Structure 1
Amino acid sequence: MPVDPQIQALLEAGRHLPRTETLSVPAARAQYEARIAAMAPPARIARVEERVIEGPTGLPLRIRAYTPEGQGPFPLLVFFHGSGFVLCSLDTHDGICRNLCAGAGCVVASVDYRLAPEHPFPAAPEDCLHATRWCAAQAAALGADPARIVVGGDSAGGNLAAVTALRLREESGPALLGQMLLYPVTDWHSPGWPSYAENAEGYGLTRATMEWFWGHYLPDPATQAAHPHAAPIKAESLAGLPPALVTTAEYDPLRDEAEAYAERLRAAGVPVACTRWLGLNHGFYFWSGRVDRCTAAMAEAAGWLREAFAGRPPLWATTHR
């Protein structure tokens, strides 16, 4: 279908901004942080608290915990923000986390993992694995149930959620009830899936920006681009992983690699629900409450979480909505 008119208006409003790949890393980060003011007010929740823990290398690691209204212990979503392993923060994804917290009735622990290029691969997946294990061990202190944990993230955060699920399977847990992969990065950019060519320009995230992100993240792509902890679609086996929600956008360079990952999960016997949101572009969860179809997509993600936490994750083949 054509680009959703509300999304098209947002694209037009941003045409004057410099392209990410033309900016320095600090300037790009500032540009992404500035868009927080344009987002819709998020849902109401009970409270937000920040904790600083010791990371896997001894450096401090921030975790922001969102608690819903009601009586706990609540299920727990450990969330990793996106933006190419280089940009964004706990603040840029604050609204998404609040909406998931309220919509799914769960504690959301948002992880401030180390960013490239200052901390290239494998710093981010190491932080995310460490934080997930800490959250499981400290679930009671977070008001959460250690037996009901899902990992999730958007874009690069979806990559980190998929990698964390792989590593927990390989490295003795803890067990997960699900993985929520929102338009995830699953593969290296070259040669790229067909959607990399179809959606290379004009829809927000571009092929050139993805190449810029990967260039900062992997210091040695010749040996790292095929590593399953960088590109989870390269994993030898996906059997035994937790149920997954995989969502994609019609106008997104990452669409095809995300859907291919969903198909690989399904072929390995993993329960999967996969939705391609027609008319939308990469990053659409930011616009829940402002763009009607994005609000519907957020409601779907929250509904999938509720069912996954209850042990009955919804299943469907790739559905176009």
Structure 2
Amino acid sequence: MTDMSDLVQKHDVIVEDLEYGKVGDTPLLARFYRPRGVTGFTSVVDVHGGAWVATDRLQNAAIDQVIAAAGTAVLALDFRLAPASPYPASVADINLGIRWLKANIARWGGDASRVGGLGTSSGGHQLWLNVLRPRDPRYTAHKLAGADHVDASLGFVVVCWPISDPVARYRMARATGNERLVKNHDAFFLNEATMAEANPQAILESGEAGSLPPALLIQGTADANVTPDMADRFVAAYAKAGGRITLRKFEGEPHTFISLNPTKPASVEALSLITEFIRKQTR
């Protein structure tokens, strides 16, 4: 069984906050984790969850720290949240964050050709939209000075408990009386028609998506925040569309199980899978 000894830090990690853009006069901040004394490293953009309305760049700190200690830099983004900023505002902020990292990572010694993404829960949904539509004009609304040639395409993707079918999740929340989730869907999407348009599952099934990067999907089987078949259906659609994707289920684990307890055996195993997946994509 995997234990904490498998995740002994190989590198010291430098952590700093920086600004990757602005919306009006409001800065868009990120926490940047990078391995000390390493050059030519791979990088990952981290998109946090919070049902589109809550949390920030620190939510996945336990995951980000492990990834960085294994030799991969992580840029954990803040972005605008609903209800103040409904769809597609946050997706555009994330698109900018991806492009900013690709355009700037060489300043710290990173390899701009080796950039991937990490998304959790609603962050997985927003990351999927940028993976499937990296050049959508709504998502590329923020200009990046001196980097018009850089797009938001990614070399690989890790998603943990993603909301890959927001329509199915919305209907489940309504059917089970989960008013918190219903309210959050309404705050971000405003209506079900927008949910259907911004639906990664439907985008894949429609044939709209282009080139698909290798992906790893982590899912607990006791996750009450997704429909029981959501991960299976998405993986099937991704593979049918030509993508290479690995699904790893963790028996009895709930939503956000790594963040809830990063030292429990299932979390340690999942973190080991994530770091090994990243390593294999970039060797």
TM-score range, shorter chain: 0.7 to 0.9
**CA distance in structure 2 between the partners assigned to 1:233 and 1:57 by the alignment:** 33
Q: Deviation per CA, 1:178-212, whole angstroms, max 9, x where unpaired?
A: 1111110112245768xx58xx6xxxxx9443223
Task: Give the equivalent residue in structure 2 for 1:209.
Answer: 180
Task: Give the equivalent residue in structure 1 for 2:141.
Answer: none
Task: Give the equivalent residue in structure 1 for 2:248.
Answer: 275
- Name segments (4+ residues, structure 1) moved above 6 Å: none
> Offset of 1:61 from its aligned partner?
0.7
- The amino acid that maps onto 1:184 is P
For 2:64, what is the secondary structure of its paired residue?
A: helix
Q: Deviation per CA, 1:188-244, whole angstroms, max 9, x where unpaired?
A: 245768xx58xx6xxxxx94432232122112x14311113xx21121224411111
**CA distance in structure 2 between the partners assigned to 1:191 and 1:307 by the alignment:** 32
1:58/1:241 Cα in 2 relative to 1: closer, same or farther (>3 Å)?
Answer: farther
> Offset of 1:100 from its aligned partner?
2.0
1:125-140 to 2 correspondences below 5 Å: 125-140=91-106
Task: Give the equivalent residue in structure 1 for 2:162.
Answer: 184
1:155/1:174 Cα in 2 relative to 1: closer, same or farther (>3 Å)?
Answer: closer
**CA distance in structure 2 between the partners assigned to 1:264 and 1:207 by the alignment:** 27
Unaligned regions of 5+ residues in structure 1, if any? 1-41, 201-205, 311-321
1:191/1:69 Cα in 2 relative to 1: closer, same or farther (>3 Å)?
Answer: closer
Question: Are 1:251 and 2:222 counterparts?
Answer: yes
Partner of residue 47 from structure 2, selected from 53, 76, 80: 80
Q: Deviation per CA, 1:14-39, whole angstroms, max 9, x where unpaired?
A: xxxxxxxxxxxxxxxxxxxxxxxxxx
Contact 1:55 1:127 in 2 (8 A): no
**CA distance in structure 1 between the partners assigned to 2:168 and 2:38 by the alignment:** 48
1:157/1:142 Cα in 2 relative to 1: closer, same or farther (>3 Å)?
Answer: farther
Unaligned regions of 5+ residues in structure 2, if any? 1-7, 138-149
Task: Give the equivalent residue in structure 2 for 1:38.
Answer: none
- The amino acid that maps onto 1:66 is Y
**CA distance in structure 1 between the partners assigned to 2:40 and 2:169 by the alignment:** 46
With normalisation by structure 1, the TM-score equals: 0.73
1:187-266 to 2 correspondences below 5 Å: 187-190=165-168, 196=172, 207-219=178-190, 221-228=191-198, 231-235=199-203, 236-237=206-207, 238-252=209-223, 253-254=225-226, 255-266=228-239
Task: Give the equivalent residue in structure 2 for 1:122.
Answer: 88
> Offset of 1:92 from its aligned partner?
2.7
Contact 2:132 2:210 in 1 (8 A): no
1:163/1:291 Cα in 2 relative to 1: closer, same or farther (>3 Å)?
Answer: same
- The amino acid that maps onto 1:62 is L
Task: Give the equivalent residue in structure 1 for 2:69.
Answer: 102
For 2:196, what is the secondary structure of its paired residue?
A: coil
Task: Give the equivalent residue in structure 1 for 2:118.
Answer: 152
**CA distance in structure 2 between the partners assigned to 1:49 and 1:307 by the alignment:** 27
Contact 1:239 1:269 in 2 (8 A): no
Q: CA RMSD in A?
A: 2.5
For 1:88, what is the secondary structure of its paired residue?
A: coil
Q: Aligned residues, how many?
A: 257
With normalisation by structure 2, the TM-score equals: 0.82
> Offset of 1:71 from its aligned partner?
1.7
Task: Give the equivalent residue in structure 1 for 2:257.
Answer: 284
Q: Deviation per CA, 1:255-309, whole angstroms, max 9, x where unpaired?
A: 4223311111101110111111111010011145431111111111111111122
Task: Give the equivalent residue in structure 2 for 1:26.
Answer: none
Question: Are 1:53 and 2:20 counterparts?
Answer: yes
> Offset of 1:174 from its aligned partner?
4.7
Contact 2:38 2:109 in 1 (8 A): no
**CA distance in structure 2 between the partners assigned to 1:280 and 1:114 by the alignment:** 29
Partner of residue 165 from structure 1, selected from 108, 112, 131: 131
